[in-house]
Amino acid sequence: MILAGGWYVKTRFNPMPEGSKITLQFENSTAFNVAVQRLEASGIVRDANAVKLFATLTNMKRTVQPGSYDFRPGMSITEVLRTMGKPNRRMVYVPEGRWIARIARGLEDRRVIPAKEYIEAASHPEKYDLQGLVPAGKTLEGLLYPDTYNFPEGTKAEFIIKRQLMNFFAKTDKLGLTKTNLKRVITIASLLELEASDFNERKMIAGVIENRLKAGMKLQIDATINYAMQKWRPLYYKDYSTVKSPYNTYLYTGLPPGPICSPTKPSIEAALNPTKHNFVYYITMPDGVTLFSATYPEHMKNVRKRDALKAAKTK
């Protein structure tokens, strides 16, 4: 009986029969004991308890970090434990100023995930922990933070969304976003993200937006038409009047119904802290300098100056 018991214990430490690669994804930091149970359930190890004992005796017990891991039935316990400490790495840049569909296309182009799967996952806010800031049923547009992420090929859509949301809340934790102001602030921040790159300039434009809203003036921001069309291209003159969407700020007064892209922290800070001034117009010169004006005649003077500079460059 003793010999039989020893044989039984020894076999529990033996590798599983060799098999094809199995990729497991852990969406959050996962306790070692929980992760090992999943390995057993997936057929990667023979006995979770044997792995736990081996890890304790060899001081290889560890928390499993979020990410995807490639295992193969037939690995020794030592190989399995080493793999648990090395998530697959494939760094993917999610650019600033992209809306959900554009982010999705970028991820598909980088062979991370089909665009339709990302769009579908982003269409169900109720599945995610939104820290009480976003009411159920509202869009995740504007909350999917742009950054560089570790998204190996085959990463699940919900994992991607969760990582972006976690990043958003980490970046904005101390800024003063609340359930009451979040939608307005992120909407304005998304406009700023596409209008300027300099922080002080964003604060100035935020001031223009606030002044125009108070005066009942249309915002007339080109990027809102791009969002309405879901196309990022130069606008034609007809687009300003023919794109019939509440996002078209040339046709409708007030803010668009929601964010038009995922803004970065500086844009959110600028939206929360607009510069106080009396300007209601701005225009960007060919050299990148933005000129602000308080009256329409002043603005048209800047427009003529811009057009003259453009004409001079084409000669």
Which is nearest to 171 in space by CA: 131, 213, 198? 131
Domain boundary among 171, 196, 214: 171
Q: The dihedral of CA 107, 166, 89, 43: what is its sign?
A: negative
d(CA 260, CA 196): 15
pLDDT tens, per residue, the chain with 315 residues: 444 445 445 578 888 899 899 989 888 889 999 999 999 999 999 999 999 988 988 888 778 988 889 999 999 999 999 999 888 888 999 999 999 999 999 999 998 999 999 999 999 999 998 888 887 677 899 999 999 999 987 789 999 999 999 999 999 999 999 999 999 999 999 999 999 989 999 999 999 999 999 999 999 999 999 999 999 999 999 999 999 999 999 999 999 999 999 999 999 999 999 999 999 999 998 888 899 999 999 999 999 999 888 888 776
Q: Does the residue 176 lie in any domain?
A: no
Domain range enclosing 129: 91-171
Same domain, 240 and 287: yes
**285: amino acid identity, one letter:** M
Degrees to nearest 5, angle at CA 26 with 64 and 83: 50
Residue 235 lies in a domain: yes
Please choose, from the candidates 261, 122, 100, 268, the residue with its C-alpha nearest in 3D space to the C-alpha of residue 181: 268
Do 284 and 210 fall into the same domain? yes
Whole-angstrom distance, CA of residue 212 vs CA of residue 27: 43
> Which residue shows structure tokens 């934790």?
173
